[in-house]
């Protein structure tokens, strides 16, 4: 089970803010940095102008700060395997890094003092005595890199999941631990899915992911697909030509936009056939079909049987 030590969403920090933990912490840290930042990667400070995500393992060096005089905004979560004892966030030198939740990602716990006196270990190496916990096993199975920023363009679902976990953390329900575990796993799995999906798409198309993701969600929301009678209007909504719009959509989702529209329409038709007594003719009309024969053909091509046969199953 995954246990959350502390979590925050959309924290704003002014210029001069920095986190410097040369020997890391005794838990995992997942960050969504939403503004330009400088992050240490493989021993060198690297400028990241775009929002990014980064996952730190236990005892992995953490050094990041706002870029120049810009405001820094991030969401963060400190978590561990629930089988581990203790909830305080501890540095490797034994110092309590944040006794209070509101101190965890504030400048007050900058841990650069006396860092030169500490022995710097190989942060990517594992002590012979260390055993992998369930979180490290999960991270490795999902092929998520640790200590290296990942640029994600479609952050809508990840932000929603982060807010859900944050809200649950401040609740006191009898199933809080189980719900936090589920929401953290959902966040990690969704991050892995989006990361691998976007990594296989040319970056010039990934810039459209947020806008196209919202559009696709709209197509599958309720009965919206029934109102889409002209794909060219969707293209104009994105300030694109029809051909380029269709090309970008297929690059991002690996399916033509027309197929998604049909899938959404037929999906709603299946729901109505199961849950209402409306005639097939009326259902076809509700789902955006003026011609009943056209509806029957598309339904059978998608589902494998006619609407009447589906209803009578």
188-230 per-position pLDDT tens digit: 999 999 999 888 888 788 889 889 999 999 999 989 999 999 9
- Architecture of the structural domain at 206-311: Orthogonal Bundle (1.10)
User: What's the pLDDT at 76?
Assistant: 97
41 DSSP 8-state letter: E
What mean pLDDT is predicted for residues 260-264?
A: 96
| Confidence band for 97, pLDDT divided at 50, 70 and 90 | low
Backbone angles phi, psi at 66, to 5 degrees: -65, 150
Domain ranges of the chain: 2-199, 206-311
Give which of 4, 183, 147 is closest to 81, Cα–Cα.
4
What pLDDT does 57 receive? 95
Residue 100 in this model has a pLDDT that exceeds 60: no
CA 104 – CA 98 distance, rounded (Å): 5
Q: pLDDT tens digit string along 12-67?
A: 988 778 999 999 999 999 999 999 999 999 999 999 998 899 999 999 999 999 99
206 φ, ψ (degrees, to nearest 5) = -60, -25
Q: End-to-end CA distance of the chain, in Å?
A: 41
Banded model confidence at residue 114, pLDDT cuts 50, 70, 90:
very low
% of the chain residues with pLDDT over 90: 71
The overall average pLDDT reported for the chain is: 86
Average pLDDT over residues 249-275: 95
| Sequence-separated (6 or more) residues with CB below 8 Å from residue 235 | 241, 242, 244, 245, 246
Residue 101 has pLDDT above 60, yes or no: no
Whether CATH 2.60.120.280 fits 2-199: yes
What is residue 96's predicted lDDT score, i.e. its pLDDT? 56
Look at residues 254, 258, 256 and name the one whose alpha carbon lies nearest to residue 225: 258
- In the predicted structure, residue 129 carries a pLDDT above the cut 50: no
Q: What band does 132 get if pLDDT is binned at 50, 70 and 90?
A: confident
For the entire predicted model, the pTM comes to: 0.74
Kind plus residue range of the DSSP H or E element containing 98: strand 96-98
User: According to the model, what pLDDT value does residue 130 have?
Assistant: 56
């Amino acid at each position: 089970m995954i246990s959350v030590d502390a979590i925050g969403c959309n924290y704003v920090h002014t210029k001069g803010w920095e986190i410097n933990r040369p020997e890391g912490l005794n838990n995992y840290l997942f960050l969504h940095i939403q503004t330009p930042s400088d992050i240490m990667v493989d021993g060198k400070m690297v400028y990241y102008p775009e929002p990014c995500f980064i996952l730190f393992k236990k005892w992995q060096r953490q050094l990041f700060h706002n870029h120049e005089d810009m405001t820094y905004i991030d969401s963060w979560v400190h978590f561990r395997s629930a089988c581990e004892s203790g909830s305080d966030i501890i540095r490797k030198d034994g110092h309590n890094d944040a006794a209070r939740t509101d101190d965890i990602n504030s400048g007050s716990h900058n841990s650069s003092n006396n860092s030169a006196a500490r022995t710097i270990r190989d942060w990517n190496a594992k002590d012979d005595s260390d055993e992998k916990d369930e979180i490290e096993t999960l991270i490795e199975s999902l092929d998520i890199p640790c200590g290296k920023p990942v640029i994600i363009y479609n952050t809508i679902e990840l932000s929603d999941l982060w807010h859900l976990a944050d809200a649950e953390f401040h609740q006191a329900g009898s199933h809080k631990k189980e719900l936090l575990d589920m929401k953290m796993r959902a966040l990690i799995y969704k991050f892995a899915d989006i990361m691998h999906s976007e990594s296989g798409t040319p970056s010039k198309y990934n810039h459209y992911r947020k806008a196209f993701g919202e559009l696709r969600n709209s197509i599958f929301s309720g009965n919206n697909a029934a109102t889409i009678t002209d794909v060219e209007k969707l293209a104009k909504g994105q300030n694109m030509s029809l051909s380029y719009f269709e090309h970008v959509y297929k690059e991002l989702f690996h399916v033509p936009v027309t197929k998604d529209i049909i899938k959404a329409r037929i999906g709603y038709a299946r729901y109505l056939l199961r849950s209402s007594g409306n005639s097939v003719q009326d259902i076809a009309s509700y789902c955006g079909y003026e011609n009943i024969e056209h509806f029957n053909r598309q339904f059978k091509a998608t589902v494998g049987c006619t609407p009447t046969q589906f209803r009578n199953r």
